[in-house]
Amino acid sequence: MKPVWLLAIESTLNRALLIDPESHQALSAFEGRIVRIDINNVELSVSATFASQQLQLEVAESEQADLTLAADSWALLELAHNPDTLFSPAVRLHGDVQFAKQVQDWMTGFDFDWEKQLASVIGDSLAFPVAEGIRQSVRWARRNHQHLQQDIAEYLKEEVHMLPDPSEVNDFMEAVDRLRADLDRLDAKIVRLEKKQ
């Protein structure tokens, strides 16, 4: 049986699609296609199937999908807000890349007024403070996630020396270029010696 929270998300998305006719109509091009979403930091996978101009969400039990997205929950929240991040390092894609581009275009054109959807469930007077609270939570999570990434990178560079400093990377690349030039000269010298013999 489908979990209640997933049923609520599915219902909200499909109701929003009905309000946005262009996005709703565009779904017919995706008929029968399946997108699997692996949420890494909560070890949960959800499959989204496009059927009859609607989205059907299920807890994914099969690996079968036209496209698989793997990311943590913060990256997926950012993706919902900004579809351009679909092809960012924070999201790993497997499967039909052309389909991924089509989904990205569809998401970009999807005008989802989630405050209006929220108001239809809990009423106008509560919708704004709840929506503002959600926005602040997302901003806080995004900010802290970025700080955490920076702190981890600094720790790996400065404390345990697992990541190189940019100057060390430049030095290494210059050394590789010098070695390549030396090998080219050595190769040319060998060719000349062979011709003399």
pLDDT at res. 43: 85
pLDDT at res. 93: 94
pLDDT at res. 120: 64
pTM over 0.75: no
Tell me the pLDDT tens digit for each residue of 51-60.
988 999 999 9
What residues contact residue 90 under an 8 Å CB cut-off, 6+ apart? 71, 72, 75, 78
Tell me the pLDDT tens digit for each residue of 141-192.
666 666 666 666 665 556 555 555 666 667 777 888 888 888 888 888 888 8
pLDDT at res. 7: 85
pLDDT at res. 102: 92
pLDDT at res. 160: 53
Q: Where are the domains of the chain?
A: 4-112, 123-196
Mean pLDDT of the chain: 79
Question: Can you name the CATH fold of 4-112?
Answer: Nonspecific Lipid-transfer Protein; Chain A (3.30.1050)
Tell me the pLDDT tens digit for each residue of 4-19.
888 888 887 888 788 7
Mean pLDDT confidence for 77-98: 88
